[in-house]
């Protein structure tokens, strides 16, 4: 019996589903995201993919469901729970004197994601509404010092009193426990949890209980507290959405549990206890897909740029290493959750276009029309022009091919609203105004890449990859005149993040803070002794991960582990992730091998001028990754054909407004283009889930893996 792999990426605007067979062949379905009930958008997208496969989902859906080996889903349920403040009423037990830890947070949380002009002006800074208000925090007298030694015993009666007040008087629906230095010694947190469970039994109130030493056993207490609170506050609500999708899949015969994606690029069961690690998993698939793509094209440095309807997400793979941010910003909070390093701005094809009432200048977003109500041309209730209305007016989008022609488009509505609200007040021609809006969006995305993500890196060393439903549409606009090594995209760009989700292994990742250093004055024996904390932390994390994966039904021979260290030169601010070449530090040779691995990785990532003369090294954290290989899609190598595309691929010409005038652009059907084909701009290459726009000075070459290489004609 044929077996299939199904992966999904539900963004703020569109939900993409990719179905992969055992030979690595894939089809893609697309539908508007449905935040209130994510299973609706998921099943609509899956149905579309099945139709492309020639399977009637109503008649044959059940038999197909039984053939699905694994189904993976990434969505926005936890994000929506935090945004809408609709999680469980959560109470906090914290070390006495730190009751304001959530409400106060950190000063830098007030400008997460802000531009420099906003950071330097206090009036632009904002404090988020705390998930746990000060009134729901209870202090407990206790203290463990930085070395893990209890210096003040825990006052158990204060724990009992606090739990009773939070559950009985405040009617809290979840509890979080955060004590100082519990990541070194969890003794006090574990004792408080035992007391809390006893009180729950006496009150006949069983609520979720989360400990920071279990959720995020790392330094940075505010971020650890935020992560623990999010786990208590939002996990239950998020899991309800995931169970709803699993039920819909079960209705069509899917026999297994639904899987979801962790923020650092692993796959796990939706019953995974640390579900907060999935909170920022949406853009992760793109980087994981790019990592696989890099192995195909032989490039270790790739800038990933994802343009959707709501946001522009970007991340950089350097020297083949996926960027890991161990303290990312999430909804104006820093959290101790390992996540692939991805930065985002509110810029996409659904971005609203308005005029600033004071200056009368064009203002883009940052809010978006999303999938519902969508651009004005969909006539679904939105009367504010969007970027996609501009793309349609300029002839770049095909009014008869929006979402594969399944969505009816009224171009006249876009024209009238754009004229009334943007062009006339500016005393501009409608098409000139629309082109100006597109260029402004491209500048925003271009500056985000070059002035933010890539500061300190040489663009000439990096390949720029564009994906997302609108990635190919805007790619050459935001690539600009910068000297990228190469610029590429793929035919399945519209669902590249979902495709990347299918490239992931079933894996867990666990981190633990460790503080030790190696200095030049230490002899070999002392170096080994100073590195022993790594061995203890690695072994503890590995034992924990193996138990969890065995509980998931995997056997020891299916599980492989990797040990990682976070290391820096003493005195420098940032550490780097280094895969350890040895399983433990047992002798001087092991210590030398670890230090050499760090120096080699550092040399690949930074200029040699940053390397200090003295070899003093500091280890700040360790990590263990445990994974089980999964079936993955493959980029098949095919024979190169003729440079000139076949006549069947041509859809004729269409007027496109470019640089203040109308010109005829060649229109091509992407599905009929073959490896070896080459196309000159001005051209528009259309697929059912994306559009590639090629300006006049650009040229497209399709290689044997169906990757589109975009090159300037004069290069």
pLDDT tens-place string over residues 544-574: 899 888 887 788 888 999 999 999 998 888 8
Answer with the one of 207, 223, 253 that is the final residue of a domain.
207
**Same domain? 511 vs 624:** yes
- What percent of the residues of the chain are helix, what percent strand, and what percent coil, each to the nearest 5? 35, 25, 35
Q: Got the DSSP string for 127-141?
A: PPPPSS-GGGEEEE-
pLDDT at 120: 78
pLDDT at 408: 85
**Same domain? 138 vs 191:** yes
pLDDT over threshold 80, residue 469: yes
Any domain includes 527: yes
**For a pLDDT cut of 70, what percent of the chain falls above it?**
97
Can you tell me the distance from the alpha carbon of 290 to that of 383, in angstroms, rounded to the nearest whole number? 37
pLDDT at 609: 66
pLDDT band of residue 360 (cuts 50, 70, 90) is confident
pLDDT at 543: 93
Q: Got the DSSP string for 584-621?
A: S--SHHHHHHHHHHHHHHHHHHS-GGGS-SS--EEEEE
**Same domain? 608 vs 528:** yes
**Same domain? 69 vs 99:** no
- The structure's pTM equals 0.80
Any domain includes 320: no
**Same domain? 75 vs 96:** no
**For a pLDDT cut of 90, what percent of the chain falls above it?**
49
Strands 333-334 and 312-317: unpaired
Are 679 and 699 within 8 A, CB to CB? yes
Q: Which of 333, 341, 427 is nearest to 108 (CA)?
A: 333
pLDDT at 26: 75
**Same domain? 594 vs 703:** no
pLDDT at 24: 65
Count of domains forming the chain: 5
Mean pLDDT of 223-237: 92
**Same domain? 98 vs 151:** yes
**Same domain? 94 vs 73:** no
H-state helical runs in 461-568: 471-479, 496-501, 524-530, 532-551
pLDDT band of residue 238 (cuts 50, 70, 90) is confident
- Looking up residue 67, the CATH number of its domain turns out to be 3.30.420.40
pLDDT tens-place string over residues 698-708: 999 999 999 99
Mean pLDDT of 68-79: 80
Mean pLDDT of 329-357: 86
Range of the domain at 129: 89-207
Q: Which of 41, 683, 32, 11 is nearest to 406 (CA)?
A: 32
**Same domain? 258 vs 366:** no
pLDDT tens-place string over residues 382-407: 999 999 999 999 999 998 888 777 77
**Same domain? 148 vs 190:** yes
Any domain includes 42: yes
pLDDT tens-place string over residues 120-137: 777 777 788 899 999 999
Any domain includes 283: no
pLDDT tens-place string over residues 306-324: 998 888 889 999 888 888 8
Any domain includes 150: yes
**Same domain? 111 vs 203:** yes
pLDDT over threshold 70, residue 115: no
């Amino acid at each position: 019996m044929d077996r299939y792999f199904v992966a999904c990426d539900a963004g703020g605007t569109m939900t993409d589903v990719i179905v992969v067979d055992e030979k690595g062949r894939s089809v893609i379905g697309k539908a508007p995201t449905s935040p209130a009930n994510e299973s609706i958008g998921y099943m609509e997208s899956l149905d579309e993919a099945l139709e492309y496969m020639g399977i009637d989902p109503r008649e044959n859906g059940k038999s197909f469901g039984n053939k699905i080996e694994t189904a993976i889903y990434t969505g926005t349920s936890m994000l929506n729970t935090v945004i809408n403040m609709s999680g469980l009423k959560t109470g906090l037990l914290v070390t006495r004197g730190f009751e304001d830890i959530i409400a106060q947070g950190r000063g830098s949380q007030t400008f997460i994601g802000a531009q420099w002009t906003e950071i330097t002006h206090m009036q632009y800074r904002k404090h988020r509404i705390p998930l746990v208000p000060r009134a729901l925090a209870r202090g407990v007298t206790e203290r463990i010092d930085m070395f893990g030694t209890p210096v003040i015993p825990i006052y158990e009666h204060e724990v009992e009193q606090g739990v009773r007040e939070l559950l009985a008087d405040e009617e809290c629906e979840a509890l979080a426990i955060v004590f100082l230095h519990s990541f070194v010694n969890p003794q006090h947190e574990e004792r408080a949890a035992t007391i809390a469970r006893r009180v729950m039994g006496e009150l006949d109130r069983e609520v979720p209980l989360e400990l920071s030493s279990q959720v995020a056993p790392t330094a940075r207490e505010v971020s650890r507290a935020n992560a623990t609170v999010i786990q208590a506050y939002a996990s239950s609500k998020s899991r309800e959405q995931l169970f709803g999708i699993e039920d819909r899949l079960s209705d069509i015969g899917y026999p297994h549990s639904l899987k979801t994606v962790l923020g650092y690029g692993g796959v796990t069961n939706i019953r995974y206890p640390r579900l907060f690690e999935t909170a920022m998993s949406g853009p992760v698939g793109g980087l994981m897909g790019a990592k696989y793509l890099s192995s195909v094209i032989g490039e270790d440095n790739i800038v990933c740029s994802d343009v959707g309807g709501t946001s522009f997400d970007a991340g950089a793979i350097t020297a083949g290493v996926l960027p890991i941010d161990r303290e990312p910003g999430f909804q104006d909070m820093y959290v101790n959750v390992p996540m692939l390093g991805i930065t985002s701005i509110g810029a996409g094809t659904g971005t609203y276009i308005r005029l600033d009432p004071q200056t009368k200048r064009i203002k883009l977003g940052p809010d978006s029309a999303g999938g519902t109500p969508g651009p004005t041309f969909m006539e679904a209730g939105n009367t504010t022009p969007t970027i996609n209305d501009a793309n349609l007016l300029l002839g770049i989008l095909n009014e008869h091919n929006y979402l594969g022609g399944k969505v009816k488009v009224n171009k006249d509505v876009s024209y009238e609203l754009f004229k009334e609200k943007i062009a006339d007040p500016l005393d501009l021609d409608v098409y000139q105004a629309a082109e100006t809006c597109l260029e402004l969006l491209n500048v925003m995305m271009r500056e985000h890449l070059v002035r933010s993500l890539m500061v300190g890196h040489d663009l000439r060393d990096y390949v720029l990859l564009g994906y997302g439903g609108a990635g190919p549409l805007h790619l050459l606009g935001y690539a600009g005149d910068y000297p990228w090594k190469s610029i590429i995209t793929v035919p399945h760009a519209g669902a590249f993040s979902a495709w990347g989700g299918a490239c992931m292994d079933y894996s867990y990742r666990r981190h633990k803070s460790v503080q030790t250093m190696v200095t030049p004055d230490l002899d070999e024996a002392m170096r080994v002794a100073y590195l022993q904390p790594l061995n203890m932390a690695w072994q503890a994390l590995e034992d924990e991960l193996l138990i969890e994966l065995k509980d998931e039904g995997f056997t020891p021979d299916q599980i492989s582990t990797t040990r990682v260290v976070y290391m820096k030169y003493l005195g420098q601010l940032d550490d780097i992730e280094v895969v350890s070449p040895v399983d433990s530090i047992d002798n001087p040779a092991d210590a030398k091998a670890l230090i050499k691995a760090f120096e080699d990785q550092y040399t690949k990532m930074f200029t040699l001028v940053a390397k200090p003369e003295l070899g003093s090294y500091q280890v700040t954290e360790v990590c263990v990754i445990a994974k089980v290989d999964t079936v993955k899609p493959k980029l098949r190598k095919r024979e190169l054909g003729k440079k000139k595309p076949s006549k069947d691929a041509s859809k004729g010409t269409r007027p496109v407004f470019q640089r203040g005038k109308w010109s005829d652009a060649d229109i091509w059907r992407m599905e009929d283009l073959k490896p070896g084909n080459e196309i000159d701009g001005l051209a528009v290459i259309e697929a059912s889930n994306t559009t590639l726009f090629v300006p006049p000075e650009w040229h497209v070459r399709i290689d044997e893996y169906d990757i589109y290489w975009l090159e300037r004609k004069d290069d």
